[in-house]
Chain A
Amino acid sequence: MKPPTALGQPAGAPPDDAPGLAPPEPLGVVCVAAGAAVVGVVAAGEVVVGVVAVVVDVAAGVVAALVIGGGDTVAPLSRLSPEPQAPSASAQTRPSGSTRTRGGRDIGPMLARHPPQPVAPPNRFRYARVPGASHWVGPLQSDSGSRPVKGGADDTMSVKYAVLGLLAQRRGYGYDLVQRFEEQVGPAWQLNAGAIYVALDKLEQEGLVRPVADGDGEAPPTRRRTVRGAPRVIYEATREGLERFEDWMATGSSMSPLREELHLKLALSQPRNLPRLIELTYEQEQTCLERLEQHLGGPGFDDLLPSTPPWSAVASVMVRDAEIAHLQATVEWLRRIREAMRWLQEQPDALRART
């Protein structure tokens, strides 16, 4: 068993394994950035999903929608997507019923208030509002996300394929997959352990992975993997799963939109906010430095390449380097806008002209 590694471990104990091995960090660690409050809330939702899925044998997507919707929080409606048994069902034809209610509250009318546009908007996104939620909810995809949508990475889908890929490497059980994901992808993803279990459920229902006998091969495949004390279920990828994974590797990758709270504050600011905005750039830079600190002493290309390392090590460093590159670009941007705002601050005339 690998001990918990770096900072940024996912919160939430994996339900099917020794709880002592679970990363002990509180949820707060997950949301480091000032703008990450929303992420944190969703994360909380997903952890709850992981737990609820243990108890209630309901497809996890539904549970996610219910839990999140009931919690008066941001809910990506893509989670309301149809069950895997009917993967082609669209939002319009989705049956209303348990999937749309929470505590007897039917959210179907809410969807009806936003009927599908006769002419599809270019990005095929619509936004809807969950009753009681104070935020706009995430992109509502008419399709369950089986194809990458431009401008909107579907994390759930990515994790699903990542689980498939991990199982293609070698068979494994839930917590093992969580750890391998952490190890190979790194802390920047801020994976919720629950998402792995959700993905396993979906994959199993789609026939892309299947449980195999445990250890000696005597024990029959156990479906109840999440009850503490029950034998853990080891999964392997089916042939179809391997093919699906190869397809995914070959398709283009979507890119997450850049959504930072600071961008909104800048966009909606007034000239009188300048002093505070400049302070905010300092605070944001501090946050970037904190994230960079997590990479201190980590392996870099410099250490690796002279020694002809295994590909997995190179791949892991490349993925970690992505966060470093992003943080560097962010800090350089912060310095640029700070310089610009300082200049404006010292030129009242210039500022008036732009007001």
Chain B
Amino acid sequence: MTLLSFDGVTKRYARGYRELDALAEIQLDVEPGDFVAIWGGSRSGKTTLLRVAAGIEPPDDGRVAFDGQDLAALSRKRRARLLLTDIGCMWQTGRITRGLSVLDHVALPRFKRSSHAQARREAHDVLERVGAPQAANARWHELTDGERTRVALAHALIRRPRLLLADEPTASLNMIEREQVLGVLRSVAEEAGVAIVMTAPDAPNLLQSHRLMSLDGGRLIKPRSEQRGTLIDFPKAGERASRRG
């Protein structure tokens, strides 16, 4: 059963008088346990891809389905609930919630479901799992970049998501931290069956994943082994011109 599916998803941003294709006709199916790495440079559309996958942004065209449900057809409340329970996100600009300790920030998604003490115990466990138990009692400004990444990962994982969206989780990590974070992602996919979509800016960061593809100018380029049916959608000169109106 496909967990996340993109069907012809297009997203455009208005930039002055012209439109910018942030995503163009994306076809992508992610199964539970898949660890998908998307390789894109800056402005390639990878953050937009994750935001659309999380249901934070609606697509302009096409359909995004999570577990068979069209995200755009869900109410705002249902989408918010999905983000609290089923979809974990690690954003590059991640910060902890203002006024909370690191531990409480990590435990936050569980506060509604279980007692605070129980949620904090879980937060401790998950911080241990991602290799940052010492971060629990630290202040945010005391954390290294590696620890912040791991706190963000713990925050995403504590809700026991079925889908994890990670935007450049390896940025600003050193070699050993990177291996640890990617190792956690890989084991979460393989042992817990979590589907992961991760973006990365360069090749070495991609190679711990199970599937890799490339995003450039909003177009997803897959190795031929990934091609099911249609070839990548080549931009047609006339089409692009007319789109700009």
Contact = CB atoms under 8 A, between A and B. Distances in A.
B171 to A, nearest CB: 15
Interface stretch (B67-75, B158-166, B202-210): B202-210
A335 B202 CA distance: 13
A338 B207 contact: no
Given A278-B234, A345-B237, A289 B223 contact: yes
Interface stretch (A145-153, A200-208, A293-301): A293-301
A63 interface: no
B204 A324 contact: yes
B41 A282 contact: no
Interface stretch (A105-113, A172-180, A302-310): A302-310
Contacts of B182: 302
Interface stretch (B93-101, B121-129, B135-143, B212-220): B212-220
A301 B175 CA distance: 8
Given A289-B223, A290-B224, A328-B202, A339 B217 contact: yes
B196 to A, nearest CB: 14
Size class of the contact patch on chain B:
20 to 34
Given A302-B179, A303-B179, A335 B207 contact: no
Contacts of B219: 282
B82 interface: no
A265 B148 CA distance: 47
B216 A324 contact: no
Q: Is the interface of A mostly helix, strand, loop or mixed?
A: helix
Contacts of B90: none
Contact of B179 (A279, A306, A331): A306
A338 B210 CA distance: 27
Interface in B169-216: 175-176, 178-179, 182, 202-204, 206-210, 212-214, 216
11 contacts: A286-B221, A286-B224, A289-B222, A292-B207, A292-B223, A297-B210, A302-B175, A302-B179, A324-B203, A328-B204, A342-B217
B235 interface: yes
B240 A346 contact: yes
Contacts of B224: 286, 290
Contacts of B209: 296
Contact of B207 (A279, A286, A305, A324): A324
A240 interface: no
Contacts of B237: 274-275, 345
Given A279-B234, A295-B207, A324-B207, A289 B213 contact: yes
A327 interface: yes
A296 B210 contact: yes
Interface of A: 274-275, 278-279, 282, 285-286, 289-290, 292-293, 295-298, 300-303, 305-306, 321, 324-325, 327-328, 331-332, 335, 338-339, 342, 345-346
A291 B212 CA distance: 11
A342 B222 CA distance: 20
A32 B204 CA distance: 21
Central interface residue in A293, A295, A324, A332, by most chain B CB within 10 Å: A293
A292 B206 contact: yes
Nearest to A290: B223
Contacts of A342: 217, 235
Contacts of A327: 203
B230 interface: no
A296 B39 CA distance: 13
B241 interface: yes
A293 B223 contact: yes
Contacts of B217: 338-339, 342
B214 A285 contact: yes
Contacts of B216: 285, 335, 338
Contacts of B175: 301-302, 305
* 6 A-B pairs with the lowest CB-CB distances in the bound complex, closest first: A302-B179, A328-B203, A289-B223, A290-B223, A335-B216, A279-B234
A305 B204 CA distance: 15
B242 interface: no
Contact of B176 (A274, A298, A306, A321): A306
A293 B212 contact: yes
A335 to B, nearest CB: 5
B232 interface: yes
A344 B62 CA distance: 29
